[in-house]
Amino acid sequence: MLFVGLAGDDGKRSIMAGHLAELGAVRGRIDDPPPWDVREQAIVVLNAARDTSEHHWPGLHIVVGPKPASHLDGTYEPPDALLADGFTGSTAAGIHALWTDRLVPFETNLRKGRRAPRRQQAVLVDSDPTWAAQATRLIDRLLHSAGKQIIRVDHIGSTSVPGLPAKQLVDIQVVVADLAAAARVAESARRAGFVHVSGQWFGTDRHGTDHPEEVVVDADPGRAVNVSIRPVAAPIWRETLLFRDWLRGHDQERDAYAAMKHRLARRPGRDVGDYSQDKMPWISAALSRAERWAESTTWSPAR
């Protein structure tokens, strides 16, 4: 079962709901949603918010709405899927494409517990000012599904550093009490629209030590996400936040990191796994510099 939120004014929501119902969606009410059941093959459409300054209910797996005419500001919460404004005859075609290419595969992947297909080559794009808001929506969904077991959750990786080019992949870090809690949160994350990746996974610290963790990823083919779920006793979660905050505060280091990322991404015959692994020497050396900065500034991981 997939919960789809419709954003925009009453007229636009009505148009979207009508088109989606014609394709097979089930209408529901945001104030009284049906019980979520991953086994049920259904796409349920609910109202999300009339005003873009309103926060969306975190139980929604995806929010669909028109592209706003106004510029981005601190109150703007973008839809997860944008439809062209105006809502003319092209709206039906756009909603049909959304249904076929994103909503149906999302629901199927989630119900079957399989990850969405993903690009195997590292392709970098310019920094997107909406990445932070996208991450906030994903974090809200995770907290809605397993909040009581989560000590802290943060937007990490290149999309969390303004001005840094990145793959179209949002990275999130969840800190929990221990590995048993990590496994429970990984299973609960299915309610949030993610799937648990089986097998042994590790986060590698700057000394080359591997720390066990659990990983969940996207079922949504339109938004690639990696979620690393780490025990609070493992140092890797602190290092990850230190690296992020250090890059945010040091433009020259950020730009040097960006140049290195571009060099690695341009190499022929190397996949995304090679790209991630080959960044590690630069990151390890940078973390030594970041640790000195942390000591001089009494840095601590911000909430």
User: What CATH number is attached to the domain comprising 207?
Assistant: 3.30.460.10
pLDDT at position 142, please? 97
Residues 74 and 179 occupy one common structural domain: no
Q: Rounded to 5 degrees, what are φ and ψ at 184?
A: -65, -45
Q: Please indicate, yes or no, if residue 158 is contained in any of the structural domains.
A: yes
Do 146 and 90 lie in one domain? The reply is no
| 95 and 160 both lie in a single domain | no
Q: Look at residue 301 and give its three-state secondary structure.
A: coil
Specify if 303 maps to a domain: no
Say what the pLDDT of residue 87 is: 47
Give CA–CA dist 164/226, Å, rounded.
18
Residues 77 and 104 in one domain: yes
Judge if 153 and 289 occupy the same domain. yes
- Of 53, 80, 112, the one marking the end of a domain is 112
Please indicate, yes or no, whether residues 44 and 148 belong to a single structural domain of this protein: no
Q: Determine the structural domain holding residue 197 and report its residue range.
A: 131-297
User: Does some domain include residue 230?
Assistant: yes
Co-location of 181 and 81 in the same domain: no
126 belongs to a structural domain: no
Phi-psi region of 210 (alpha: psi -120 to 50; beta: other; left: phi over 0): beta
Q: Give the pLDDT score at 50.
A: 66
Planar angle of CA 270, 273, 274, nearest 5 degrees: 45
Q: For residues 51 and 15, state if they share a domain.
A: yes
The DSSP result for 156-222, as a single string, is: ESGGGSTT--B-SEEEEEEEESSHHHHHHHHHHGGGGTEEEPPS-EEEE-TTS-EEEEEEEEE--TT
pTM of the model: 0.93
The answer to whether 280 and 204 are in contact (CB under 8 A) is yes
- Can you tell me the distance from the alpha carbon of 180 to that of 23, in angstroms, rounded to the nearest whole number? 41
Tally the domains of the chain. 2
Is 64 within 8 Å of 80 (Cβ atoms)?
A: yes
Tokens 């870090």 — which residue?
Answer: 173
Q: Of 112, 141, 161, which marks where a domain is finished?
A: 112
Distance CA(26)–CA(34), nearest Å, equals 10
pLDDT at 49: 73
Do both 223 and 74 map to the same domain?
no
Q: What is the pLDDT along the chain (303 residues), one digit of tens a residue?
A: 999 999 888 888 888 999 999 999 999 999 899 999 999 999 999 988 766 566 789 999 999 987 665 545 555 567 888 876 544 456 788 899 999 999 999 999 999 999 999 888 899 999 999 999 999 999 999 999 998 899 999 999 999 999 999 999 999 999 999 999 999 999 999 999 999 999 999 999 999 899 999 999 999 999 999 999 999 999 999 999 999 999 999 999 999 999 999 999 999 888 898 999 999 999 999 999 999 999 999 899 876
Does residue 67 form part of some domain? Answer: yes
Residue 269: predicted pLDDT: 83
Q: What confidence score (pLDDT) does residue 75 get? A: 53
Within-domain flag for 124: no
Is residue 206 in some structural domain? yes
pLDDT score of 228: 98
In a domain, 122, yes or no: no
Q: Please indicate, yes or no, whether residues 82 and 161 belong to a single structural domain of this protein.
A: no
Residues 161 and 231 in one domain: yes
Same domain? For 270 and 149 the reply is yes
